[in-house]
Amino acid sequence: MSRLTRNDPDELLIGLVSISDRASSGVYEDQGIPALRDWFSSALASPWQMATRLIPDERARIEQALIELVDEAGCDLVLTTGGTGPARRDVTPEATLAVATKEMPGFGEQMRQISLRFVPTAILSRQVAVIRETADHAALIMNLPGQPKSIKETLEGLKDAEGKQLVPGIFAAVPYCIDLIGGPYIETHEAVCKAFRPKSAIRQK
């Protein structure tokens, strides 16, 4: 695939991979990619563009998609949805770890903590996050849930009726992670998701 063209130095290049045997074969309509597109539209204050893939639960296909999105398209952030449970066909974590140069276990731990607020079966999720590095580029790759409601909760975290954050979502840590691996400076709409950075890493306007 061709490399995405960054129109601004701070434009975030996002790869979205929805992994589902049935959605990829047309049995039903994919919900993961539309949910993520909607969420980024509401959450990001800085420019962004995305490349998408809809593929079956096949480890080789998943690995290929992740490598292409990072190495060839030049994505800074790649998110997968689906294929993270204990079923025989659920191989997204294995494929993700296979293309990794570093593991980022805190993301998976926090995703399960958020989901456990809703369902005890969250402990069955095997979501992982990793860094993939090439000679001149690095990207953060994260496995997300497959359901739109769970995707939103995982990224944003949990808030009370007044909007006070009860449990931080995982995306709060993503902009600083992207900073540290040499990617663009990401800004968010705080009402949706407040990005956290140490004071020394906050860009002065």
Report the chain's C-alpha Rg in angstroms.
16
d(CA 36, CA 79): 9
- Asked if residues 184 and 76 have their Cβ atoms less than 8 Å apart, the reply is yes
Which DSSP string do the residues of 157-189 spell out, in sequence order?
EEE-TT--EEEE-GGGGHHHHHHHTT-----B-
d(CA 153, CA 174): 15
- Look at residue 6 and tell me if it is in a domain: no
The whole-number pLDDT of residue 154 equals 95
Q: Supply the range of the domain harboring residue 113.
A: 12-197
The mean per-residue pLDDT over the stretch 3-29 comes to 87
- Look at residue 124 and tell me if it is in a domain: yes
pTM of the predicted structure, to 2 decimals: 0.95
- Look at residue 3 and tell me if it is in a domain: no
Write out pLDDT tens, residues 163-180: 788 888 999 999 999 999
Write out pLDDT tens, residues 12-22: 999 999 998 77
Write out pLDDT tens, residues 136-173: 999 999 999 988 999 999 999 988 888 788 888 999 99
Distance of CA 95 to the CA centre of its chain: 15
Please name which of 94, 29, 28 lies closest in space to residue 57, comparing C-alpha atoms. 94
- Look at residue 5 and tell me if it is in a domain: no
* 16-25, 106-115, 170-179, 182-191: range with lowest mean pLDDT: 16-25
CATH number at residue 33: 3.40.980.10
- Look at residue 4 and tell me if it is in a domain: no
Write out pLDDT tens, residues 57-78: 999 999 999 999 999 999 999 9
- Look at residue 205 and tell me if it is in a domain: no
- Look at residue 7 and tell me if it is in a domain: no
Query: What's the total number of domains in the chain?
Result: 1
- Look at residue 2 and tell me if it is in a domain: no
